[in-house]
A and B are shown apart, each in its own frame.
Chain A
């Protein structure tokens, strides 16, 4: 599944970059986040998050790695997670651009592949659920940065 969008955040690019590359900061907006552990700063972190897909609730342990970091322009991360009977793999990319009024545009895209129980039980829900979760997430990010 591929998703993409653009979010305008009323803050300078450097501030947006700092927030988005700080797992603890971003974590406050991540739905269902239960724990977060930095393995290698600016390189690897682990997260545990519970996600509900309709009647199915799964707790994922995810290993995430920054594969590209070009501050404060572009970042790309890859992740792989597992839950009992399910697995998820994905990558996500963000590109930040200055806007004339001093705010920042973020183009984001994500490519997510799910395997196992959630893929077979919740595939019909996945699109709308992901849209809702990403919408909530970016609204939260925007609110937190814009303070």
Chain B
């Protein structure tokens, strides 16, 4: 039999999970059909703010197959009509008398199947008395504005600030040059192709709940369910959360939604399994959104282009409740990465959270807690300052970058950046794209009246939350875990506290273990998502799996190796200190023939272990990262603007990413391609907006435009490798870099193309009508 390849770090191993995905054999929530399963569907409010005067259920109950209709009053009997958000705010599961945003849950109908339940929903009659609506957070802060929350003093949720305000103000007073811009990062939605849903299965005999659900954080959900249902006698050992295959999460599947609670309540009451699954509009209109930050940004510098200070003041629109999924102590997430890749001596950021009559949220849409907002702003502002002082944006960045020798670098906002070579990444991107030639071409085209722009984004991310001293969610520290069991035949199973939603954990975790243990990756089974079997962890989001659980994999493997060494010493009748490790075996130093493979050692662990030692070969690691990781990169985008239609055509897009050590270069490449598409989308296409009555615009894929293969440009990728010094295998995480970094490159390219007309900024999404209006305003539109 041919030797099976180890396929460790750096190997472009094919994704093992794809064997089922590409055959249509994945197991998603909506694939689940349990015997006797019932379905719930939800009545939702057409109004963004209204009193509920009456809910009449008689016609719904008369629909054949409709079994029950429940309202907030029903849930109130069990005190589960409200639930806590991950930010310790309150969210209605079902309302008692008022709705606060359009498409809010009003009542739930249980039927024998999805169609019956939907017919029941259509037959529920609700009388509403509309109330004044506020959808603009600035108006919400004005005196006399309609109050969104009856239980709060005002629409102002919290104020958060970071940095030294006085020092920043002083630097601004002394500045030779300042630039200022108002930047809006619009509300968008993760729009995962699989919507949210669950199957709740209550076992009345054993008092046990199994909840199959689309969650990125199964353990945290189990603890939250135990906390909010403890008064009903449901305790944590009797709750099992199973997260099956997930069709995209992107942060949207971190929070708990009312539908989950409703399904659980109905399963407990009926004793039957109950499925809840959203349709597209429910998902888009009622689940947590991303972004919605209004940022007033200022930079200060010297005439030679040296940056000296930064001040960002932000209004964060959280909708009806703060249902973000940030670390508890950080209501604005990691927005204080706002100094980006630049060596600022002074910086101050402040954020005010505001309630409006919009759906709740503020989740990290494929980014590590508000990092996209920070990166987009600093990268837009860097371009503005570069133009202001008359420097090429590339030269300006090179001048202000944190230098390689400054790492570990302490930022003015308190982070310790682990490692970086920003100039190296930008230079590589410039070489790949042919930067000088492009600038020449741009100048020539401009003379001919053609608008071409070149945009740079040299982003620095902050991922891998996080060190337990600062990072928790509802008090749960943000470590993550890996448990390894090596079987007697030298094969292994490893379980994790994270949960893949497409990242390829089944492939890459096995590669880390293969590298550390010398067991071929194909001989290691990876499991996640079942809280009855997996070790506790905080889940997968914010690019944290590789920095935390990936590190736990290496650490647990090293514990296994330490025990394996003792067994090898026993088998080889040698002293432990005389043994040397080479991938897959221990041998006696100087006698490479006297060796025991990991497979032989594993067998001995169950058949011939040393007296006095416990049998078996297992280990578990709960990894508490000493710091976050700071992936970075430089993207260069080239656009052509159609003066007749306002369309922005991305002609080239070069992405150089540095995520430290690459576990599987093929998967990294795939993550970057997907991330770039999800950065391209909000830059040019995606936005959820509301009219003054709180009606959503963008609740379906006709109005909310996702890029398809037709719109998506060809990506050109490159890499540099700067390992993280504190991560066991030097990896940093890459799932979100491209989503974070791409929008600014595109926006900068558009403004670059129009700069000579006097255009200084354009908010994303940069749609053809928006560009057309700018061209018209500056007399540059081509009209027949």
* A residues apposed to B, CB below 8 Å: 82, 84-87, 89, 113-117, 119-121, 123-124
Contacts and interface: CB of A to CB of B under 8 A. Distances in A.
A113 B46 contact: no
A115 B693 CA distance: 8
Contact of A117 (B125, B281, B691): B281
A120 B125 CA distance: 20
Nearest to A121: B700
B697 A85 contact: no
Interface in B42-93: 43-48
B328 interface: no
B114 to A, nearest CB: 16
17 contacts: A82-B125, A84-B121, A84-B123, A85-B43, A85-B46, A87-B47, A114-B695, A115-B47, A115-B130, A115-B695, A116-B695, A119-B693, A120-B700, A121-B699, A123-B695, A123-B703, A124-B703
A111 to B, nearest CB: 13
A116 B121 contact: no
A113 B699 contact: no
Interface of B: 43-48, 102-103, 121-126, 128, 130, 281, 285, 691, 693-697, 699-700, 703
Contacts of B128: 82, 87
Contact of B697 (A82, A87, A120): A120
Given A119-B695, A124-B703, A86 B281 contact: no
Nearest to B690: A120
A20 B668 CA distance: 69
Given A87-B47, A87-B128, A115-B46, A120 B699 contact: yes
Contact of B122 (A84, A113, A123): A84
B281 A82 contact: no
Q: 6 smallest A-B Cβ distances: which pairs?
A: A116-B46, A119-B695, A84-B122, A120-B699, A115-B46, A87-B46
A87 B106 CA distance: 15
Given A82-B128, A84-B121, 4 more contacts: A84-B123, A84-B124, A85-B43, A117-B46
A120 B281 contact: yes
A113 B693 contact: yes
A121 B696 CA distance: 9
Nearest to A123: B697
Contacts of A114: 695
A116 B44 CA distance: 9
Contacts of A115: 46-48, 102, 130, 693-695
Contact of B46 (A86, A123, A124): A86
Contacts of B700: 120-121
Nearest to A86: B46
A116 B45 contact: yes
Contact of B281 (A87, A113, A121, A123): A121
A37 to B, nearest CB: 17
B241 to A, nearest CB: 31
Given A87-B128, A115-B102, A120 B44 contact: no
A38 B94 CA distance: 36
B529 to A, nearest CB: 33
B56 to A, nearest CB: 12
B699 A82 contact: no
Contacts of A89: 130
B12 to A, nearest CB: 44
A89 to B, nearest CB: 8
Nearest to A89: B130
A43 B125 CA distance: 25
Contacts of A117: 46, 281
A120 B121 CA distance: 18
Given A84-B121, A87-B128, A115-B102, A120 B695 contact: yes
A124 B704 CA distance: 12
